[in-house]
Structure 1
Amino acid sequence: MRRVPYITRFVNWDLSQEFHVKMSIVTLVLATLHAIGHLSGTFVFGSRPYRQDAVAALLGPEAVPRPYSAYISSRPGWTGLTALVSFYLLAVMSMPRIRKWSYEIFQLGHLLMFPFIAMLMAHGSAALLQFPALGIVLAFPTLMVVLERGTRLLLGFHRVPASLEILDDDTVCITATIPRLRLWQYRAGQYVFIQVPQISFFQWHPFTVSECIGKDFKLHIKTDGDWTAKLRDLTDLKYIGVDGSYGAPAQRFYDFDQTIIIGSGIGVTPFSGILNDLQSREDHAWTRRRDSTSSHESDSEAPPPPIQRMPTIINHNKEIDLNLYRRVDFHWVIRDRVYLEWFSTLLNKISTGTHNPNLDIRMHNHVSKKRKDITTHVYRFLLEKHRTPAHPYSPLTGLIAPTHFGRPDFPKIFAEHYEQMSKLFARDKQRKRRVGVFFCGAPIIGHQLADLCHEMTLRGREDGSEIEYFFQIEVFG
């Protein structure tokens, strides 16, 4: 389902992780009560001598006499107990502490779902009391899971050439090339599962594609786990397994004309590819329209009737067509300025050159690491401001886009954005008043942004502007 972008734009499957955990806990409790009811209730009651006539009337004369051990050794008995034990083992191996200690154990533990489901399907197959409906209900979704996992297993044997580059103490970059004959239907914002046979043949981990040109793509990975730590220590990475690409909430980016993108640390990866794709797409469309207009002017035939437009001066003294105007506010929150080197080429590419004037990308970088020395603050401020038209790059970061020091003031950022959107929508009465807010990073920041989106939407209803802010968060667990 994640492969279909038209579905993932409405259903964020990754947000079901919390529901998955709660549902599993409830199921485990109910299954335990069910087992206790049989082991201490019906099995005991049904094995008593004076109840054998009732058992014979229910199960048949050949089923009696029926001792307690016969209930345990029956197909419903042993399959139910095996399923419950498998479920408990799976739950123990899925605890956060176990997962942090060894992702291999966590992932192998989840393979117990197959014997668990198999035992559930066999549990009612004896049809002692009713038609075995549970097995039929589980059959189709189980088949889908088996096919999906089987496909991923086969993809592990199909090697994709790759190389590894260490960017800093916390981050590595994998560059890979999909073979020519393999199908690759990547769209900006999607993610892939990768497997490194040198670490583990069975472990598959999801990572967002940060850059993709044709069949060449890059993955920026933060090494903060046991598997990623082993990945960092590899000196001879040559091949990886790739499964995907899959749809993600970031793909809804193109559903909005006005967007706010916020990436925290390595959480910028879903949006780096989107910014690059958006810039290329809009520039290409603008160039085609401009070339088409020039060819009509040189043609001897009469030019086509003019399209009704609403030009206005919005930014940097450029005449912009409101019918085509798209604005993107990009905020990247990082701990230290050295992280800016990850995407410095991409960020400067967007900031320079001749681009579509109707595409307004406003980039802001926020370095949140605290500095106690006031001299450091003054020095950073002076370096950041020391720019000239001939040398627009910051001497401190090497970027054209401005860099702010300290944690971003999101309430102020959203308030200013709302005021500017109010002016824009006042000029364009027909435009959809929807602003997409996309975030990937620490959940605590996501909660604040979700509250701000709700607050701005309520403000739009109160003052009659009808501006709505739609929050989308990337979740990988």
Structure 2
Amino acid sequence: MGNFAANQWFSAVVLIAWLGMNIFLFTYYFLIYENGRSYSYTRFILGSALAWARGSAACLNFNCLLILLPVCRNLLSFLRGTCSCCQRSMRKQLDNNLAFHKLVGYTIALMTAVHTIAHLFNIERFYNAAQSKNTTLEGMLSSIGNKHGDWVNPIRSQNENPPYVCFTTIAGITGVLITLALILMITSSTEFIRRCCFEVFWYTHHLFIIFFAGLLIHGLGRIVRSQTLDSMEHNNYESCHDTFLNWQQDDGHSDIECIMPSFQGNEPMTWKWILAPMIIYIIERLLRFYRSRQTVVIVKTVGHPSKVLEIQMKMYGFKMEVGQYIFINCPLLSMLEWHPFTLTSAPEEDFFSVHVRSAGDWTEKLLQVFQEQADNPPSLEVDGPFGTASEEVFKYEVSMLVGAGIGITPFASILKSIWYKFQHEDDRLKTKKIYLYWICRETGAFAWFADLLRSLEQEMACSGKDGFLNYQLFLTNWDSSITGQAAINFDVTIDAVTGLRQKTRYGRPVWENEFSKVADAHPRSTVGVFLCGPRALGKSLNQCCHHYSSLDPRKVQFYFNKENF
């Protein structure tokens, strides 16, 4: 529980502040439109649906202010650097950017549903009021003003119906476009579609341009109206609404008891909320566009087993840290698609590299193009690098690195950097012990990473630091021939599958045992747990971090970090 509080207290503060702001805004504006005197006549026509529409609109404005900021990757990388002196629990919140982005997105969807349903009721009430005769208050209010004047009911004749209002007014047309764009973005961002048809998610998510353009002009129609202050001085709802048949036009005489009320539209407010984050996002995109225009030189390509392609590149001004990632675009395949890849090179190397695994249509085509054009590889565009949780690895005394399949890539960068630090006898390395766990389905997938581990083994042996790296490889999919070969070579010092000193294990790790061993071996250390892998595995590791951390903050503490991009 003590570790949970140390890890999550700032997350809890952020969520409580965000939730509290939503509740405050909804309640504040709901009460204004439910009880405000200037909306008495409008409320007489519409009822409580007016307050529901405006309360949800306030929450929409607030969340639309936030939705773009978690995906401004350059901003997050900048904050990650400036927050290096802050507490670990505060820096960790930058790793929750996508989770917060999704939370805000779902909240926008919910508030949009409330706002839309409330306004559908409002339009129906406006229509019914327009059909009423002038002998009723609804009919009298509907006849006030003209199409360009001080009206309170936007439906100006009995020939106008609700569909007409929805598809001919600024608020109606933009509302339909905003809702359709949001539905497509939300449905295409489900995990199933992102995994199976990433291109569908990528393209439909760019409908956010239509969404925000619609938001900017949605309020220009000023359909929601309040009574003007001058009018309220001579027509108070409490004393005049019962005498509406005797209302008179204002002729300048102050002795008139109740004059005909006049109304005005509310000033559009949404642009004030979203203008600043839109400017930040535009600057972000311009910076990324400029950086992506830099020439990328492909130094070398290496094909590895299990359809893994290593691409080594150079680009002017490129500087990286361990565990960071980049976006890659191949104009030959698509001018618009950018896909994220973790850097597998070390900062000490004079090039940067990625390992691309065939995991979808785009990566399959990329590997095919590089194979067909081996002598003249296609040009690539690179955007990045961007920071991740793995940058924190050298800030812990002990680190547990957990990679599933191709998820080992960020840790390749870390291990290479360690190898260079050992070669140059860098004494500034705070980390004293690293535990590496790699969970993989195929034996061939170990091949490209085995060379790095073998070099690191030799370097540690020469440096007298054999105990620095403890790595364990877990094979989850095997057949009888593999197990038979492993049994035959049981007494051999070199593993039959990988050629490494550390023997490959079959099955999945029992995390309770692993955490217990680390806790016993480092009773007074701060342990960073880093994962690049599936969500289910992350949940198990996070639970173990909480369970095996000591209640005494001076003893062993586990801090969970997960790659998100």
- Shorter-normalised TM range: 0.7 to 0.9
Which residue does 2:304 correspond to in 1?
A: 167
Distance between the aligned counterparts of 2:503 and 2:192, measured in 1? Answer: 41
How far 1:259 sits from its partner (Å)?
1.2
Which residue does 2:358 correspond to in 1?
A: 223
Shift in alpha-carbon separation, 1:176–1:109, aligned structure 2, 3 A = same
Structure 1: segments with no counterpart, 5+ residues: 290-322, 388-392, 426-432
Residue 183 of structure 1 pairs with residue 317 of structure 2: yes
Output aligned runs, 1:293-372, within 5 Å: 326-353=432-459, 354-355=462-463, 357=465, 360-372=468-480
How far 1:159 sits from its partner (Å)?
3.9
CA contact (8 A) 2:388 2:564 kept: no
Distance between the aligned counterparts of 1:468 and 1:95, measured in 2? Answer: 34
Which residue does 1:298 correspond to in 2?
A: none
Residue 437 of structure 1 pairs with residue 556 of structure 2: no
Distance between the aligned counterparts of 2:336 and 2:324, measured in 1? Answer: 22
Shift in alpha-carbon separation, 1:22–1:48, aligned structure 2, 3 A = farther
Per-residue CA distance 1:312-368 (angstroms, 9 max, x = gap): xxxxxxxxxxx9771111122222332221122211121113226497122222222
Shift in alpha-carbon separation, 1:61–1:452, aligned structure 2, 3 A = closer
Distance between the aligned counterparts of 1:138 and 1:324, measured in 2? Answer: 43
Shift in alpha-carbon separation, 1:92–1:468, aligned structure 2, 3 A = closer
Distance between the aligned counterparts of 1:452 and 1:145, measured in 2? Answer: 38
Distance between the aligned counterparts of 1:169 and 1:360, measured in 2? Answer: 30
Q: Which has the higher helix share?
A: 2
How far 1:380 sits from its partner (Å)?
0.8
Distance between the aligned counterparts of 1:325 and 1:472, measured in 2? Answer: 16
CA contact (8 A) 1:333 1:366 kept: yes
What letter corresponds to residue 485 of structure 2 in structure 1? Y
Q: Which has the higher strand share?
A: 1
Which residue does 2:539 correspond to in 1?
A: 447
Per-residue CA distance 1:133-184 (angstroms, 9 max, x = gap): 2111101111222232344344444441235443123422222221xxx221
Residue 260 of structure 1 pairs with residue 400 of structure 2: yes
Shift in alpha-carbon separation, 1:58–1:184, aligned structure 2, 3 A = farther
Shift in alpha-carbon separation, 1:406–1:83, aligned structure 2, 3 A = closer
How far 1:14 sits from its partner (Å)?
5.2
Distance between the aligned counterparts of 2:476 and 2:297, measured in 1? Answer: 37
Distance between the aligned counterparts of 1:159 and 1:271, measured in 2? Answer: 27
Per-residue CA distance 1:383-409 (angstroms, 9 max, x = gap): 25413xxxxx54542223443333222
SS at structure 1 position matched to 2:319: coil
CA contact (8 A) 1:209 1:219 kept: yes
Distance between the aligned counterparts of 1:146 and 1:359, measured in 2? Answer: 49
Shift in alpha-carbon separation, 1:47–1:116, aligned structure 2, 3 A = farther
Which residue does 2:551 correspond to in 1?
A: 461
Identity value in percent: 23
SS at structure 1 position matched to 2:275: helix
How far 1:446 sits from its partner (Å)?
1.8
Q: Which residue, 497, 501, 508 being the options, matches 1:407?
A: 508
What letter corresponds to residue 228 of structure 1 in structure 2? T
Distance between the aligned counterparts of 2:129 and 2:177, measured in 1? Answer: 21
Shift in alpha-carbon separation, 1:35–1:411, aligned structure 2, 3 A = closer
Q: Which residue, 37, 44, 47 being the options, matches 2:127?
A: 44
Q: Which residue, 441, 458, 483 being the options, matches 1:377?
A: 483
Shift in alpha-carbon separation, 1:145–1:257, aligned structure 2, 3 A = same
Output aligned runs, 1:126-275, within 5 Å: 126-127=221-222, 129-162=265-298, 164-178=301-315, 182-212=316-346, 213-234=348-369, 235-236=372-373, 237-275=377-415
Shift in alpha-carbon separation, 1:209–1:229, aligned structure 2, 3 A = same
Shift in alpha-carbon separation, 1:164–1:48, aligned structure 2, 3 A = farther
Which residue does 2:5 correspond to in 1?
A: none
Which residue does 2:141 correspond to in 1?
A: 54
How far 1:72 sits from its partner (Å)?
4.8
SS at structure 2 position matched to 1:472: strand
Which residue does 1:293 correspond to in 2?
A: none
Shift in alpha-carbon separation, 1:439–1:65, aligned structure 2, 3 A = closer
- TM value normalised by structure 1: 0.78
Distance between the aligned counterparts of 2:192 and 2:483, measured in 1? Answer: 40
Shift in alpha-carbon separation, 1:48–1:278, aligned structure 2, 3 A = farther
What letter corresponds to residue 362 of structure 1 in structure 2? N
Which residue does 2:76 correspond to in 1?
A: 2
Distance between the aligned counterparts of 1:356 and 1:131, measured in 2? Answer: 72
Moved more, 24-33 or 337-346: 24-33
CA contact (8 A) 2:305 2:447 kept: no
SS at structure 1 position matched to 2:383: strand
How far 1:117 sits from its partner (Å)?
0.7
Per-residue CA distance 1:419-450 (angstroms, 9 max, x = gap): 1112xx4xxxxxxx311111111222222211
Distance between the aligned counterparts of 1:214 and 1:324, measured in 2? Answer: 21
How many residues in Structure 1 have an aligned counterpart in Structure 2? 420
Output aligned runs, 1:39-118, within 5 Å: 39-42=120-123, 43-45=126-128, 47-48=130-131, 50=134, 51=138, 53-54=140-141, 56=144, 61=149, 63=151, 66-67=156-157, 68=160, 69=164, 72-118=167-213
What letter corresponds to residue 328 of structure 1 in structure 2? I
CA contact (8 A) 2:95 2:562 kept: no
SS at structure 2 position matched to 1:35: helix
Per-residue CA distance 1:274-325 (angstroms, 9 max, x = gap): 1221332355345x89xxxxxxxxxxxxxxxxxxxxxxxxxxxxxxxxx977
Distance between the aligned counterparts of 1:370 and 1:100, measured in 2? Answer: 25
What do you get for the CA RMSD once the two structures are aligned?
3.1
What letter corresponds to residue 410 of structure 1 in structure 2? W
What letter corresponds to residue 269 of structure 2 in structure 1? A
Structure 2: segments with no counterpart, 5+ residues: 1-74, 223-263
Shift in alpha-carbon separation, 1:186–1:325, aligned structure 2, 3 A = closer
CA contact (8 A) 1:83 1:120 kept: yes
Residue 417 of structure 1 pairs with residue 518 of structure 2: yes
Shift in alpha-carbon separation, 1:95–1:408, aligned structure 2, 3 A = closer
Distance between the aligned counterparts of 1:218 and 1:27, measured in 2? Answer: 38
SS at structure 2 position matched to 1:197: coil
- TM value normalised by structure 2: 0.67
Moved more, 75-84 or 125-134: 125-134
Distance between the aligned counterparts of 2:541 and 2:150, measured in 1? Answer: 67
What letter corresponds to residue 54 of structure 1 in structure 2? L
